[in-house]
Amino acid sequence: MQILEEISMELQKGDAANVGLLTQKAIDQELNPGIILDDGLVAGMNIIGNKFKAREIFLPNVLLAAKAMQAGIDILKPLLIKEDIACRGRIVTGTVQGDLHDIGRNLVGIMLKGAGFEVIDLGNDVEPSRFVEAAVENNASVIGMSALLTTTMPVMKKVIDTLKQRNLYGNIRIIIGGAPVSSSYAEEIGADAACFDGASAVESVKELLGVK
């Protein structure tokens, strides 16, 4: 579909205004909102994510693309909610205590929302107990933690320990992300997955929750 390709291209260019216009145009053409999302916005963001991973492009491009994606989602959201696509599951996200880095977490949040999950974002510098309380209060299935600093990574384990103390470990699943985390670190602390970008976070959450 031509227009979906255009949405993807404009998103990759980081043109929020055009992405907004084209998303509206696609809606007016009565395309399915889920398809606009998956084959337009998410497709474009996946390309951006892969190019960034290969360092073909750099952070400014990713941030601009994310702003453009947000512009598209803002327009799609009412329709996604109506179509019931926006409640595949609830995820609590936050950057761990002592860490104030939010770029990666915001990108992951946008991608998860785009994929139809409800994201409850706790922001930066989140205490271990707050992650757990927020997950319980909101009946969330997954906690997503981010840390950019090697010094704050150990806080992730504290959250998992808190879950274990409350016998919630296993019921509430854990994904972690941030520059210093690795799959072996996830395994070591008992997280379900380490995610390297927004797309892999979406994949991990879908797999953990058994949704397509």
Partner 1 sequence: MKGLLQRLKEGEVLLGDGAMGTMLIERGLESGHCPERINLDNPGMLEEIAGLYIDAGADIVQTNTFGASALKLADYGLDDRTEQINKAAVEAAKKAAGRAAGRVYVSGSCGPCAKMLEPYGDAGAEEVQASFERQMSALVHAGVDMICIETMMDIQEAAIAVKTARSISREITVAATMTFELTRHGFVTIMGTGIEEAAEGLIDAGADIIGSNCGNGIQNMIKIAAGFREITGMPLLIQSNAGLPELNNGALVYAETPGFMAGKSRMLMDLGVNIIGGCCGTNPEHIKELRKTLDAYMRS
The window from 27-35, 93-101, 134-142, 196-204 that contacts partner 1 (CB under 8 A) reads: 93-101
Choice between 34 and 98, CB closer to partner 1: 98
Choice between 64 and 143, CB closer to partner 1: 64
Lookup: tokens for 8: 């993807």
* Total residues binding partner 1 (CB under 8 A): 34
DSSP string across 95-134: EBTT----HHHHHHHHHHHHTT-EEEE--SSB-HHHHHHH
Q: DSSP state, 73?
A: H
| Non-local CB neighbours of 186 within 8 Å, separated by 6+ positions | 176, 192, 193, 194
DSSP string across 142-161: EEEEE---TTTTHHHHHHHH
Q: How far is the CB of 69 from partner 1 (least distance, A)?
A: 13
Question: From CA 76, how far away is CA 82, in angstroms rounded?
Answer: 10
Q: List the x/- string, 50-69, binding to partner 1 by CB under 8 A.
A: ----xxxxxxxx-xx--x--
The window from 25-33, 76-84, 92-100, 111-119 that contacts partner 1 (CB under 8 A) reads: 92-100
Q: How far is the CB of 102 from partner 1 (least distance, A)?
A: 9
Choice between 6 and 99, CB closer to partner 1: 99
The window from 20-28, 109-117, 130-138, 153-161 that contacts partner 1 (CB under 8 A) reads: 153-161
**Contact with partner 1 (CB under 8 A) among 25, 51, 157, 166:** 157
Under the criterion CB under 8 A, does residue 161 sit at the interface with partner 1?
no
**Residue 65 to residues 37, 74, 91, 184, Cα–Cα distance (Å):** 14, 14, 23, 30
CA–chain centroid gap for 31, Å, is 24
- Which chain residues interact with partner 1 by CB under 8 A? 14, 54-61, 63-64, 67, 97-101, 103, 124-125, 127, 149-155, 157, 180, 184-185, 188-189
